[in-house]
Amino acid sequence: MKKYLFVLPLLVFIGISGLWATGDGQKKTGKVVIGFQPGASSTLPMLAAEEGYFALAGVDTEFIPFSSTSDGLAALEVGKLDVGVSFGTSAPLTLVTNGAPLVIIAGNATGSHPIFTKPENAALYKDVSGFKGKIVGTPRLFTPDVVFRGALYDAGLEPGRDLEVIEFKRPVDVLEAVKSGKVDVGVGSTAITVQIRDAGLAVPLYTTDLFPHHPCCRVVTTETALKNKRPALVAFIKALLLAEKKFNEDPEAGVQANVHQQNFTEQNARDITFAPHVELAIDPNTKAIVGMFERMKAINYLDPETKVDPYAVIDTSLYQEALERVKKEAPSPYWDTLSARFVDQNT
């Protein structure tokens, strides 16, 4: 598997070092190995790499791409990765209830994945009632799968009775099933936004049409990494916070980061960077995660009798520490906005 190594050009570092009024500068905290899925949900980590924020925060990084959530989280669980940045919300929660030592430490992206079909069928899917009697492809253990099944539950539609649901390992497998006619409509992810467009398929719905502002990709680590690499993980989150600020001030920087770091064409990078209804933010958003957990139990995606406490799966202290440090080291009113957001979403 190709490994993505991000190197900070000297001139770029000189240009951005003035961001820091005080602080540890280039003090090294260690190395973090990051798993990611190429696409919109990796924009902020790629922007942090592009702008040199990881080196500025004092953390070495190595990025390793995955095409499926299950493979990425399996690598994380056995210690081949230190964090995953775009492996959803529902998958880590599912694995935790099965005993995996995973911990969510920050956010990354919220919303909104495409639900797609052939253009001639697009008018059939104005809302969830259109799925009755259809064959639907969905990627198992992906957040959009949970959102879709939750919408079916709310509408009183039951897989196996009112429609057929076929599970696939990867969103790209769902795409191929729609193209070939094996399924009528597919539940996708932002990772295949470009492929859906290039295949000439239509997107009549997004998952946020079914569950507004639902959480998606969280930054997830392991109990072992949390114990052994906390300073590096805090530095990693600091860099992501700088990337979030940069993106809010200059969204075009996200496009260029995806061109250079993910090797997308200019048009493809623009499509994924500005994917409809996707919100990029590093706040953990405890309330949304717990809400997703309870939703998963309600629809029997998780064992309703599970004894796992969702609050125990979330550690917001690293985000809080990173935010306080960046407020001191790179003062800006933006951080006050994020502090208020943290209180609203996590307390």
> Is the same domain home to 183 and 223?
no
pLDDT at res. 22: 33
Q: What Cα–Cα distance (Å) separates residue 233 from each residue in 6, 75, 93, 239? A: 17, 18, 20, 10
CA distances to 99, 140, 251, 346 from 86, rounded to whole Å, are 21, 15, 19, 20
Q: Enumerate helices (H) and strands (E) in the chain, giving the number of each.
A: 16, 12
- In this structure, is residue 196 part of a structural domain? yes
What pLDDT, on a 0 to 100 scale, did the predictor assign at position 13?
34
Say if 16 falls within a structural domain: yes
Domain finish residue from 210, 229, 258: 210
Dump pLDDT digits (tens) for 281-309: 999 999 999 999 999 999 999 999 999 99
Instruction: Tell me, yes or no, whether 4 lies in a domain.
Output: no
* Whether residue 293 sits in one domain with residue 199: no
* 242 within domain boundaries: yes
30 and 178 belong to one structural domain: no
Could you give the number of structural domains in the chain? 2
35 within some domain: yes
- 177, 210, 243 — which closes off a domain? 210
Reading the block at residue 192, the tokens are 């295949």
Looking at the structure, tell me whether residues 130 and 107 fall in a common domain: no
- What is the C-alpha separation between 194 and 77, in angstroms, rounded? 30
Q: What is the pLDDT of residues 152-189, one digit of tens each?
A: 999 999 999 999 999 999 999 999 999 999 999 999 99
* Whole-prediction pTM: 0.88
Please give the angle made by the CA atoms of 346, 205 and 249, to the nearest 5 degrees.
50
Number of CB atoms found within 10 A of residue 30's CB:
16
Residues in CB range of 122: below 8 A, 6 or more apart: 202, 203, 204
The verdict on residue 3 lying in a domain is no
Question: In this predicted model, what pLDDT tens digit does every residue of 17-61 receive, in sequence order?
Answer: 334 433 445 589 999 999 999 988 899 999 999 999 999 999 999
Choosing from 183, 210, 237, the residue where a domain stops is 210
Please, are residues 59 and 209 in contact by the beta-carbon 8 Å criterion?
Answer: no
Q: Which domain holds residue 152?
A: 114-210
